[in-house]
């Protein structure tokens, strides 16, 4: 029994060493995994923009109160990425540094929280925006 365990450990160690050295990367499993690019988890046009238009654009579009006060237009990718007259709102790849998430998560004073005078966006809605930012805030 000890011999079988010792042989199994030796084989596992040899296989691990091959993969670490890069020699095992020609296995069908590795090739299949390498051939599949990671798809974005969230699409701006299909997930984020409809949310922003439904929940935010009544104020944050040309002529809206939020637009007049801040210059923030949430009706297009270009508008979101332009930010406000006070600066950018999205830091691609870093939702925690993005002012948009600070406003939506209510990590700011009450008078700045978004949406003004309304119920906070759901965790699901906020996580959609957060994931999009984390994934690079792409125009996809």
pTM of the model: 0.72
CA angle 125, 131, 137 (to 5 degrees): 110
* Spatial separation of the C-alpha atoms in residues 125 and 60, rounded to whole Å: 17
Structure tokens of 11?
Answer: 């084989």
pLDDT in tens, 93-121: 999 999 999 999 999 999 999 999 999 99
* Spatial separation of the C-alpha atoms in residues 53 and 61, rounded to whole Å: 9
What percent of the chain is predicted at pLDDT more than 90? Answer: 71
Contact predicate 52/74, CB 8 Å:
yes
């Amino acid at each position: 029994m000890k011999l079988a365990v010792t042989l199994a450990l030796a084989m596992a160690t040899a296989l691990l060493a091959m993969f670490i050295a890069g020699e095992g990367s020609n296995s069908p499993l590795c090739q299949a995994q390498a051939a599949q690019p990671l798809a974005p988890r969230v699409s701006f046009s299909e997930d984020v923009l409809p949310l922003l238009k439904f929940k935010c654009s009544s104020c944050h579009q040309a002529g809206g109160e939020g637009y007049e006060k801040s210059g923030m237009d949430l009706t297009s990718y270009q508008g979101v990425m332009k930010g406000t007259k006070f600066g950018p709102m999205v830091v691609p790849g870093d939702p925690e540094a993005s002012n948009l998430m600070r406003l939506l998560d209510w990590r700011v004073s009450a008078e700045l929280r978004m949406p003004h005078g309304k119920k906070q966006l759901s965790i699901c809605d906020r996580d959609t925006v957060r994931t999009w930012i984390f994934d690079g805030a792409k125009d996809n």
